[in-house]
Chains A and B, each alone.
Chain A
C-alpha cells in the first residue's frame, strides 16, 4: 500500500522567499505524480503533473521534480507571494492505489 509523507507539515515565510516542499512515497512503481493546491473551503486544484519518465515540470514560478527510484518529489516555489498561501498536497498515482495523498504542507506567506 502506498504511503505518502510530506515535510514540513506547516511553513510560514515572508513574501519573496524561495521555498521547497518535500514529498516522499513508499511505492516507486508510479505512473505519475501530481501536486495540488487546496484553499480553505475549496476543492483541490492540480498544479503540476510529472510523468514517471520525467524528472521535472515547470509552470510559472512553480517547479516540481521527481526522483522515482528514491521515492521523492519536491515542489519549488520561487518568489513566494501572499496569494500562494494554501495547503499543498502531493499525490503519486499507482495502478493499485490510484492517487494517494499526503497530509499536505500548510503554507503561509506573510506580506
Chain B
C-alpha cells in the first residue's frame, strides 16, 4: 500500500478563500483522523471517523471547519472562509485492526493563509 495520501502538499491562499484538503487512507483501515500541527499548540486532533461516520468533532475549532468522509477511501477537510490563523500543517492519519491499531500518518498538507 502507498500509505496515507494527502493533497495538496503545500497551499498558499488568500484570507477569505475556501481551502479543501484531501486524504486517502490506507486500504482496509476503518478509522481516519484529521490533525493540525502548529508551533504554538503542537498536534491537535480535529476530528475522527470510524467506518466513515464522524465520531468526535470536538476538536474542530470553528464552524468554518468541516470534514466529510463519503466513502472508505476518501475524506476532505474544508475551511471556509480561511483566516491567517489557520496556517498550519494538517495531517490525515488512519488505523485499523489490519495494522494492529498502529496509526499511520500522511505527509501533511502545509497551509499558509495570507
B interface, over-half SS: strand
> CA of A83 to CA of B78 in the docked complex: distance in angstroms?
36
Q: Is the CB of A101 within 8 A of B48?
A: no
> CA of A98 to CA of B43 in the docked complex: distance in angstroms?
13
Ordered by A's residue number, 20 sampled pairs between the chains whose C-beta atoms are within 8 Å are A34-B103, A36-B105, A42-B107, A43-B4, A43-B105, A43-B106, A44-B91, A44-B105, A45-B105, A46-B104, A49-B100, A49-B101, A49-B102, A89-B43, A97-B45, A98-B33, A98-B56, A99-B45, A101-B42, A102-B42
Of the residues B45, B103, B106, contact of A46 by C-beta under 8 Å: B103
Of the residues A45, A49, A93, A101, contact of B43 by C-beta under 8 Å: A101
Which A residue's beta carbon lies closest to that of B101? A32
Is B108's beta carbon under 8 Å from chain A? Answer: yes
Q: Is the CB of A43 within 8 A of B45?
A: no
Q: Is the CB of B105 within 8 A of A104?
A: no
Which A residue's beta carbon lies closest to that of B31? A98
As a 0/1 sequence over residues 80 to 114 of chain B, the CB contacts with chain A under 8 angstroms (1 = contact) are: 00000000000101000000111111111000000
A-binding residues in B (CB < 8 A):
4, 33, 42-43, 45, 48, 56, 91, 93, 100-108
Q: Is the CB of B102 within 8 A of A46?
A: yes
A interface, over-half SS: strand
> CA of A93 to CA of B53 in the docked complex: distance in angstroms?
20
Q: Which residues of the partner chain A approach B48 to less than 8 Å between Cβ atoms? A: 98
B-binding residues in A (CB < 8 A):
31-32, 34, 36, 42-46, 49, 89, 93, 97-104
> CA of A45 to CA of B107 in the docked complex: distance in angstroms?
10
Q: Is the CB of B102 within 8 A of A43?
A: no
> CA of A97 to CA of B56 in the docked complex: distance in angstroms?
9
Which B residue's beta carbon lies closest to that of A89? B43
Besides the contacts A32-B101, A99-B45, what 10 more A-B pairs have beta carbons closer than 8 Å? A31-B101, A34-B102, A42-B108, A44-B91, A44-B105, A45-B105, A46-B103, A49-B102, A99-B103, A100-B45
Instruction: Output the least CB separation between A98 and chain B (Å).
Output: 6
Q: Is the CB of B106 within 8 A of A99?
A: no
> CA of A31 to CA of B102 in the docked complex: distance in angstroms?
12
